[in-house]
Amino acid sequence: MFPKLKIHQTLLAPPLFWLLIFFIIPMAIVIGYSFGLGGVSSGASSGFTLQFYKQALSGMYLGIFLKSFGYAVGATVLTMAVAYPIAYYMAFASDRTKMIIMFLIILPFWTNFLIRMYSIMTILGDNGLVNNVLMQIGIIHEPLKLINNSFGMYVGFVYWNLPFMILPIFSSLDRMDVSMLEASLDLGANHRQTFMKITLPYSIPGAVAGIIFTFIPTLGNFIIPEFLGGTGNTMIGNVITSQYLQARNWPFGSALSTVLMFIVMIFISLYIRYFDPTKSKNMVNF
């Protein structure tokens, strides 16, 4: 290990201060509100109470939590299904192809998120590109409902999460020594067995990181349901937003947020427990 120097503490001070002001204090405020400790400014009566948590875990809201959870799981599975082949192809492609794909993956980040959402709406809308083309060539006679339903929402989630899934899987596969695959073939395994026994286990740490990067932001996402989900597809993020902005029931919004945070923390803890990213091997033993 490298020696700890005095200057480390000095250099750490600004980020620590930043975290204190913009992370720890706001979080403390949110948790405080959720127990009804906010006073008049919070938009509700003061005094310690658990009623907001009771409400957050009551039938309707519990349902939305579960539904959000379901969407996050579904979006993660779909993203994985799309991302893995791309990452695999990329890892074993030539350096030039790698560069090109990497560029294409990063390219969307150069455009504003709202513009990208609107362009998805234009492409998938009733008069959008997809429906127009399909009607022109006569496959369908009336437009398909591609947005304002869960399909549109999944498209949005997969689109949004793809880079965060591809890159960690790619980076774990890319580190893989090709001679390991040759060794497996050499010892009598066919390509499928080699993939199952060697490649797949090797990519698991990357895949798990990708799942974390996909699942957690999706669970709390409120923009994609808003744009592409239509009226029937409310996720917990939307409820929290509306509690803060429309209903102005900050304590209840805070309680929902805290529950969400708690759920996320469970997943992160599981991740660290089984796939500790700080352990040098970055390998899983089954």
By CB under 8 A, residue 137 contacts other proteins = no
Q: How many residues bind other proteins (CB under 8 A)?
A: 22
The distance of closest approach from Cβ of residue 283 to other proteins in the complex, given in angstroms and rounded to an integer, is: 5
Residue window 222-261: x/- pattern of binding to other proteins, with contact defined by CB under 8 A: ----------------------------------------
Decide: is 95 part of the binding site for other proteins (CB under 8 A).
no
Q: Which is nearer to other proteins, 209 or 240 (CB)?
A: 209
| Site for other proteins contains 154 (CB under 8 A) | no
The residue from 183, 247, 266, 272 that contacts other proteins (CB under 8 A) is 183
What is the nearest approach in angstroms of other proteins to the Cβ of residue 150?
Answer: 38
Q: For residue 257, which of 241, 233, 270, 269 has the smallest C-alpha distance? A: 241
Q: Work out which of 104, 185, 265, 270 binds other proteins, going by CB under 8 A.
A: 185
- Find all residues with CB under 8 Å of 253, minimum gap 6, and list them: 33, 240, 243, 244, 247
- The set of residues, in sequence order, having a beta carbon less than 8 Å from that of 5 and lying 6+ positions away, is none
Place of tokens 């979080």: 27
| Residue among 187, 232, 245, 273 that touches other proteins (CB under 8 A) | 187
Q: What is the Cα–Cα distance from 242 to 263, expressed in whole angstroms?
A: 20
User: Does residue 278 touch other proteins according to CB under 8 A?
Assistant: no
276 binds other proteins (CB under 8 A): no
Instruction: Tell me the DSSP string of 23-73.
Output: IIHHHHHHHHHHTT-S-GGGTS--S--SHHHHHHTSHHHHHHHHHHHHHHH
106 is a contact residue toward other proteins (CB under 8 A): no
> What CA–CA distances, in Å, run from 137 to 38, 86, 91, 126, 140?
60, 30, 37, 16, 8
Site residues (CB under 8 A) for other proteins? Answer: 177, 179-180, 182-190, 193, 197-198, 201-202, 281, 283-286
